[in-house]
Amino acid sequence: MKKHIVLLPGDGIGPEVTGEAVKVLRMAARCYGGDIEFQEALVGGAAYEAAGDPLPEETLDLCREADAIFLGAVGGPKWASIPADKRPEAGLLRLRKELGLYANLRPVRLFPELAGLSCLRPDIVAQGLDLLVVRELTGDVYFGQPAGEEVRDGLRHAFNNMIYNEEEIRRIARIGFDAARQRKKRLCSVDKANVLASSRLWREVVEETHRDYPEVELSHMYVDNCAMQLVLRPDQFDVILTGNLFGDILSDEAAALAGSLGLLPSASLSGLAGTGGAGLYEPIHGSAPDIAGQDRANPLAAILAAAMLLDLALGLKEAAKGVEEAVRLTLREGYRSADLARPGEKTTGCSRMGDLVADRLE
């Protein structure tokens, strides 16, 4: 059956890296027998320019009907001073919320060929880095009510509410355990249960959910310790399961370990693979206005996001593995986009990098 993918190239380098991801998706479909059709829609600054809205109703309708959504990136200095609800990033936040994309999956892997790019000591890098951060994306302190500002006893106060209900915790815990079951079967749940009531409920519900996944080894870690362990011994982690705020911070820290923003993909889902609506697949980087339009962007994060789409949205696991292997081969053969090159090393442009991966896939 034909699968319908909505492309949201967005702003800055978004269209450039999306073009390369599409190149690779088309090749993957040809080599592995998928039947894919693409439809492009506006989001972010591009949508604001064309329709006065960073998430036009037409785009949202198309996304609701899609089997998967692929996003490049949104944002840029051009839209920094327009009203907050019209900014490109507001379009993306609304899209996540409208589609109920509560589970953010961010794999962090260090390709051995790029070990020199990691900020970690070589002896730590040598132990390996291959983990998955599963972050809750639609709850916690970012959305909890009441939140606001008020004057109490003559002093300005501001407050947010770190709140989770048990169902919100249970559904993200299931995503985490399910992912661990398909990896090395280890899940570390990260919280601050020594201090926070919401973390204590988090821990309780994660323990309850664990009963359905006896084959997965569960551990708990406080978030401050986790931040430290990520740089001391990242190889101890397989799946890290955590809430929205802690996940926001830890996933960026983990990303820094891999060497470049241009290498890391992510998926945002509304349920276990194959059971929810359309997921959103995107590189973790932004629109990189400083290099936009110069063929200097690294498309590998977008291409690896396309691999996640093949696996999780279309069930084409072999095709996904093929894409990852093609990326590895391209790196092993020494091709480097500007962000991956050492000083003086020859660099490969965005479009050529996409061609190389597609050729190797073939």
The torsion angle over the Cα atoms of residues 63, 64, 65 and 69, rounded to 10 degrees, is: 30
Per the annotation, the verdict on 130 as an active-site residue is no
Residue 23 beta carbon to ligand NAD: minimum distance, rounded to whole angstroms: 15
Tokens representing 287?
Answer: 């629109």
Closer to ligand NAD by Cβ: residue 101 or 288: 288
Q: State in Å, rounded, how far the first CA of the chain is from the last one.
A: 22
Closer to ligand NAD by Cβ: residue 152 or 342: 342
Between CA 202 and CA 81 the distance in angstroms is 38
Closer to ligand NAD by Cβ: residue 3 or 87: 87
Q: What are the strands of the beta sheet with 217-222, ordered from one edge? A: 36-40, 3-10, 68-73, 279-283, 265-269, 103-109, 130-136, 239-242, 186-191, 217-222
Residue type, 286: G
Per the annotation, the verdict on 35 as an active-site residue is no
Closer to ligand NAD by Cβ: residue 84 or 155: 84
Peptide bond into 146 cis (omega under 30): yes
Per the annotation, the verdict on 192 as an active-site residue is yes
Residue 318 beta carbon to ligand NAD: minimum distance, rounded to whole angstroms: 26
Between CA 226 and CA 222 the distance in angstroms is 6
Closer to ligand NAD by Cβ: residue 32 or 335: 335
Residue 50 beta carbon to ligand NAD: minimum distance, rounded to whole angstroms: 17
Backbone φ and ψ of 65, nearest 5°: -90, -10
Kindly name the residue from 248, 295, 321, 355 that is annotated as catalytic: 248
In angstroms and rounded to an integer, the radius of gyration of the C-alpha atoms of the chain is 20
- Angle between helix axes 14-32 and 350-361 (nearest 10 degrees) is 10
Between CA 66 and CA 8 the distance in angstroms is 12
Residue 118 beta carbon to ligand NAD: minimum distance, rounded to whole angstroms: 16
Per the annotation, the verdict on 248 as an active-site residue is yes
Which stretches of the chain bind ligand NAD, using CB under 6 A? 13, 17, 73-76, 89, 92, 261-262, 282, 285-291, 297-298, 301, 339
Per the annotation, the verdict on 191 as an active-site residue is no
Residue 147 beta carbon to ligand NAD: minimum distance, rounded to whole angstroms: 22
Residue 331 beta carbon to ligand NAD: minimum distance, rounded to whole angstroms: 14
Closer to ligand NAD by Cβ: residue 270 or 298: 298
Token pair 């190797």: residue: 360
Q: What is the DSSP string of 288-350?
A: -TTTTTTT----HHHHHHHHHIIIIIT--HHHHHHHHHHHHHHHHTT---GGGPPTT-----H
Residue 3 beta carbon to ligand NAD: minimum distance, rounded to whole angstroms: 23
On whether the CB atoms of residues 284 and 301 are closer than 8 A, the answer is yes
Closer to ligand NAD by Cβ: residue 89 or 325: 89
Backbone φ and ψ of 283, nearest 5°: -70, 155
Name the residues annotated as catalytic.
Answer: 142, 192, 224, 248, 252
